[in-house]
Amino acid sequence: MSHLIIVPVVLPALMAAFLVLAARHDMVLQRALSASSAVLLLACALFLYGLAAEGQPLPYLLGDWPAPFGIVLVLDRLSALMLVLTGILGVAVALFAMTGRDTGGRHFHALLQFQLMGINGAFLTGDLFNLFVFFEVLLIASYGLMLHGGGPRRLGAGLHYVIVNLVGSTLFLFAVGMIYAVTGTLNMADLAIAVGQVAPGDAALLRAGGGLLLTVFAIKAALVPFHWWLRGTYSAAPAPVAALFAIMTKVGAYSIIRVFTLIFGAGAGDAAWLAAPWILPAALVTLVLGTIGLLASRTLFDLAAFSIVASMGTLLIAIGLFTPEAMTAALYYLIHSTFTGAALFMVGGIVATGRGETGDRLVAAAPFPRDQLVAGLFFLAAIAMAGMPPLSGFLGKLLILESAQNAPLMSWIWAIVLGTSLLMLVGFGRAGSVLFWKSAAVAGDGSRPVAGTGNALPLVATATVIAGTALLTLLAGPATAELDLTTRQIFDPTDYVRAVLGDEAALQIAER
Amino acid sequence: MELLVASAIGILTATGVYLLLRGRTFPVVVGLSFLTYGVNVFLFAMGRLTLDAPPIIDEAAASYTDPLPQALVLTAIVISFGMTALLVVLALRGYLERGSDRVELGAAEEGAET
């Protein structure tokens, strides 16, 4: 049993506490510690991915209590992949925030570390109630981050965000309670066995619990009809925070994959593939609504927020198909949309500070230093998000369309994915031409306000994230081969159950 | 007793949902509290209602009550208490900064609409 599995949770927790207690008055020290912790987390995540890639899921028994009685963390390919993604984003956000975007309050970096702890924990845990606890950890940190810097608009939008998520948490508890009442366990591996043996009289309760869980995850993943909180929150949040939030919607998507393949998967008897009929139609509507919003956006942040909604729609279409080919496509698109969404918010942040009072509104204004470089980054992020060749958005959508070839809703999926891609291209093209071409014609008024524009670090951070997209494109072959193995593990829970509960339990699950 | 507990959960939840849909922050905060009370009792009842039975091993005991929901409820209470406190502070701060305790965003806060 490798103790490294707990590091992605413990390291940021200790670092956050240390930042609050010992480094609260020294911003330079805070930045150095926060960034080095982020780099260490990434290194640890990469090493853990190596461990997971050896094939077998690895359990970590907290306090060495035997499963299913204690809480267990499980490292498999899927969770390791999400850890690496979080690690990369954590480093980029820490770098991006460093040049004056973290001074709106004293505890930006401590909150960032707590946020990373919650996200990593949610990806690692193998216990349904523990998932709730880590959701709370990441939400509490996100409330603080979202409100960072204050201001009336942020407070108003923050209130919505907090209330929506508190209602979500309450629903999560109702769901957990129902599932516990009929199965008597909350350990995910144990649940995978127990849901198949539920008494016929209790089957409806179990399905209701599963449905409630889907609702909770849909709120997190911004799936229609629970998408409306996202635009207000993301466009009001500070740029580095909004960039980090690109992984938050993916926590919802991850939870849907985990719970509705492992617990409510093929072996669940009456409740098998519980989520399948709901996700696909809702995801199609999400994609359409996100694209309409994108066309109607009047600020760059709104544009980025709605493109996140649209990309979640695309991602959930692929997840909602619940076939191995579609799942590989979904994972590929998940990595891509995390990078691209974060890059768009970072570009938005650079533009907003660069243009001073005009901010991120989509109107022509005087050019700002290095705006051609920023325009280039925006262009790359935009074509990746819209799904144009040659970047990974194109490959991701291609994989999704290909995997949907034999799906019952195939014509709908193809029409909507292709149609919205065109509309997104129009939306991004309009925004980019106003922001960078029309602005080039506006004469500067000589006043160059703005703190932090002289610093290249935000550009470097943005370029790093976009380089991730480019790398994903170049290495698409090996990447999809890796993701294929991940998908195989997702659709065959035997190894997961064996790792947590031993051979006997694995036999039970394999017999179904 | 089942009827009593079930109707208590139902009334708490219904009150919570109704208040949650109001347009000002104070009823919403109270509504969320009611909702969390409802879910706490609900979680408790999910371990089945047992009278006069210990939750931990006792040689004299004839039967036990399920201790796990009680632990879950404790966690849920702590989290919901903290969250309610945060929400109250946030609502107060919002009222002071925005000059209104209405939940919806005003035109001024939407920003960028010029």
Tokens, residue B98? 């925005």
| Beta carbons of B42 and A173 less than 8 Å apart | yes
Inter-chain contact B32–A158, Cβ cutoff 8 Å?
no
Cα separation of A259 and A244, whole Å? 24
Q: Give the DSSP letter of residue A436.
A: I
CATH number at residue B16: 1.10.287.3510
Query: Which of A129, A153, A177 lies nearest to residue B42, judging by beta carbons?
Result: A177
ipTM: 0.92
Q: Which domain holds residue B48?
A: 2-52+65-103
| DSSP 8-state class, residue A74 | E
A107 touches chain B (CB under 8 A): no
In a domain, B58, yes or no: no
Query: What is the per-residue pLDDT across A166-177, written as a single tens digit (0 to 9) for each?
Result: 999 999 999 999
**How close does chain B come to A156, measured CA to CA in Å?**
6
Q: Quick check: A405 pLDDT over 70?
A: yes
Lowest mean pLDDT, pick from A95-99, A216-220, B84-88, B95-99: B95-99
Angstrom distances, CA of residue A65 to CA of A68, A129, A475, A500: 8, 16, 41, 12
CB contact under 8 A, B112 and A298: yes
Query: Angle CA(B96)–CA(B102)–CA(B107) in degrees, nearest 5?
Result: 90
Tokens 């550009």, located at residue: A459
With 90 as the cut, is the pLDDT of residue A21 above it?
yes
Residue B7 lies in a domain: yes
pLDDT higher than threshold 60 for residue A449: no
Specify the number of domains making up chain B. 1
Is residue B17 one of the residues assigned to a domain?
yes
Across the interface, which of B48, B79, B93 has its CB nearest the CB of A136? B79
**Distance from B99 to chain A by nearest Cα, in Å?**
9
pLDDT, one tens digit per residue, over A72-119 is 999 999 999 999 999 999 999 999 999 888 888 889 999 999 999 999
B105 or A45, greater pLDDT:
A45
Residues A34, A22 contacting (CB under 8 angstroms): no
Of B48, B75, B105, the CB nearest to A232: B105
What is the pLDDT at residue A267?
82
pLDDT value at A138 more than 80 = yes
Report chain B's mean pLDDT, rounded to a whole number: 87
Nearest CB neighbour to A155, from listed B69, B83, B94: B94
- Give the CA diameter of chain A: 75
pLDDT digits 0-9 by tens, A326-343: 999 999 999 999 999 999
Is residue B59 domain-resident? no
Percent of all residues in chain B with a pLDDT value above 70, rounded to a whole number: 92
**Left (φ > 0), alpha (ψ -120 to 50) or beta: where does B104 sit?**
beta
Maximal C-alpha separation, chain B: 75
Mapped onto helix, strand or coil, the DSSP state of residue A59 is strand
Q: ω into residue A493 within 30 of 0, thus cis?
A: no
**Residue B109 resides in a domain:** no
- DSSP SS3 for A89: helix
pLDDT of residue A1: 58
- Is A296 part of the contact surface with chain B (CB cutoff 8 Å)? no
Nearest residue to A306 via CA among A431, A467, A400, A458: A431
